[in-house]
């Protein structure tokens, strides 16, 4: 695939505050690229600079083969979908979608055909004469998406498009957008703080923190091979355990677990362990170097999945997530065997306060 979006050393200052600093990445044609990070990480500011709604303090932006750093919004041919829809309340669904074509040199017949096509695409044909206040949140966001797609943009920019919706509607719209993207193939840049949304929808992730890029990669690379403690903790839940590195293993309490990255022996380290990489067995009997005993402090059943809070012998808590049917012989207060299958370790000095992003519900 060819690159359709390229930004180099993008920086944005608001007075003395540097919201974005030296951001560089590319987005391939026909793909969905997600800018993922917590609130205040600079991801929306990057999106607005690509759209032409903000002017970079420094850096360059290319859309296709043309540099667009200082061109107008209209010249860039991008569609923009906001979190809060930005629909015209006094216009019907039909009129809102038609508005996106108002400045295009198209005949009236062509415009009407395009609106008909889009309303069918977003499954809102029967609602064409309704006003935004007569629609659900999910329907309003589909109208906003249809309006953004109306002029056939080269790039679709989505700024927290599902952030104002409840969890079930967000999930439904994610699936719908994924199917729509597969059908249209429009190059899309998605801003979100929702890791599940990014992992589900995006072909490539750009993880940001405090205006900088922490890591760029595929969802699999970001989740399974995090480059920094922040990425390890922010993308996916993780236990953070204190220990030391000994001979390529992380030792904490009775545990001795192989680590996936290289650290010098003897250093103080923090192990990031995914809850689904923790196994629990009744009886408390050991089963290998990665096995130790722990006491069951809490069990939360979430249908087929259960979350088990355990207390290790050295006093540290660890959370396991496993199928509920594997817990038939495990109860509160039991001493069980705990196996940690995989851990990723970082120097304790590099983790610091970032461990707050890696907490799991207990």
Average pLDDT rounded to a whole number, residues 214-234: 94
What's residue 352's pLDDT?
Answer: 65
Report the share of the chain in percent with pLDDT over 90: 61
pLDDT per residue over 310-330, tens digit each? Answer: 999 889 999 999 999 988 889
Same domain, 251 and 300: yes
Same domain, 14 and 163: yes
pLDDT per residue over 101-148, tens digit each? Answer: 876 778 889 999 999 999 998 889 999 999 999 999 989 989 999 999
Same domain, 177 and 287: no
What's residue 361's pLDDT?
Answer: 43
**In whole angstroms, what is the distance from residue 113 CA to residue 10 CA?**
39
Same domain, 23 and 105: yes
What's residue 345's pLDDT?
Answer: 87
Instruction: Give the global pTM.
Output: 0.89
Same domain, 212 and 267: no
Q: What is the DSSP string of 215-275?
A: EEE-HHHHHHS-SSHHHHHHSS--EEEEEEEETTEEEETTEEEEBSS---TT-EEEEEE-G
What's the N-to-C CA distance of the chain in angstroms?
44
Least confident span in 17-21, 98-102, 174-178: 98-102
Going by pLDDT thresholds of 50, 70 and 90, the confidence category of residue 91 is very high
pLDDT higher at 164 or 52: 52
Same domain, 30 and 167: yes
Domain boundary among 230, 253, 277: 230
Measured from the Cβ of residue 55, the count of other Cβ atoms closer than 10 Å reads 10
Going by pLDDT thresholds of 50, 70 and 90, the confidence category of residue 262 is confident
Measured from the Cβ of residue 58, the count of other Cβ atoms closer than 10 Å reads 14
pLDDT higher at 193 or 162: 193
Q: What is the mean pLDDT of the chain?
A: 89
Domain encompassing residue 319: 237-358
CATH code for the domain of 249: 2.40.50.100
Average pLDDT rounded to a whole number, residues 36-64: 96
Same domain, 226 and 242: no
What's residue 85's pLDDT?
Answer: 72
Domain boundary among 230, 254, 280: 230
CATH code for the domain of 136: 3.40.50.300
Same domain, 153 and 124: yes
Least confident span in 37-46, 181-190, 281-290: 281-290
Domain boundary among 195, 230, 265: 230
What's residue 193's pLDDT?
Answer: 92
Same domain, 225 and 242: no
Same domain, 40 and 183: yes
Inform me whether the pLDDT recorded for 253 exceeds 90: no
Same domain, 151 and 282: no
Same domain, 218 and 242: no
What's residue 102's pLDDT?
Answer: 75
Domain tally, the chain = 2
């Amino acid at each position: 695939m060819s690159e359709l979006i390229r930004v180099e050393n993008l920086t944005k200052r608001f007075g003395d505050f540097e919201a974005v600093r030296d951001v560089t990445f590319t987005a391939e044609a026909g793909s969905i690229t997600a800018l993922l990070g917590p609130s205040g990480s600079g991801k929306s500011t990057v999106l607005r600079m690509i759209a032409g709604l903000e002017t970079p303090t420094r850096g360059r932006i290319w859309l296709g083969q043309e540099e667009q750093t200082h061109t107008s919004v209209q010249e860039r041919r991008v569609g923009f979908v906001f979190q809060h829809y930005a629909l015209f309340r006094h216009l019907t669904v039909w009129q809102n979608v038609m508005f996106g074509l108002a400045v295009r040199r198209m005949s009236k017949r062509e415009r009407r055909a395009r609106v008909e096509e889009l309303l069918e695409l977003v499954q809102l044909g029967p609602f064409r004469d309704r006003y935004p206040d007569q629609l659900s949140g999910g329907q309003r966001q589909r109208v906003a998406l249809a309006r953004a797609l109306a002029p056939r943009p080269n790039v679709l920019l989505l700024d927290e498009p599902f952030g104002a919706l409840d969890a079930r509607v967000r999930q439904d719209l994610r699936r719908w957008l994924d199917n729509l993207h597969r059908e249209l193939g429009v190059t899309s840049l998605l801003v979100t703080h929702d890791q599940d949304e990014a992992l589900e929808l995006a072909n490539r992730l750009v993880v940001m923190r405090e205006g900088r890029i922490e890591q760029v990669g595929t969802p699999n690379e970001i989740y399974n091979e995090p480059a920094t403690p922040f990425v390890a903790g922010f993308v996916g839940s993780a236990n953070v355990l204190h220990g030391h590195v000994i001979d390529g293993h992380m030792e904490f309490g009775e545990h001795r677990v192989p680590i996936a990255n290289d650290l010098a022996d003897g250093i103080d380290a923090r192990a990031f362990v995914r809850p689904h990489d923790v196994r629990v067995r009744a009886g408390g009997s050991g089963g290998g170097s990665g096995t130790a005993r722990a006491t069951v402090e809490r069990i939360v059943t979430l249908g087929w999945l259960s979350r088990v809070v355990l207390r290790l012998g050295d006093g540290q808590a660890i959370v396991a997530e496993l199928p509920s049917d594997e817990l038939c012989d495990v109860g509160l207060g039991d001493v069980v065997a705990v196996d940690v299958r995989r851990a990723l370790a970082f120097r304790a000095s590099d983790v610091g306060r970032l461990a707050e992003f890696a907490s799991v519900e207990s």
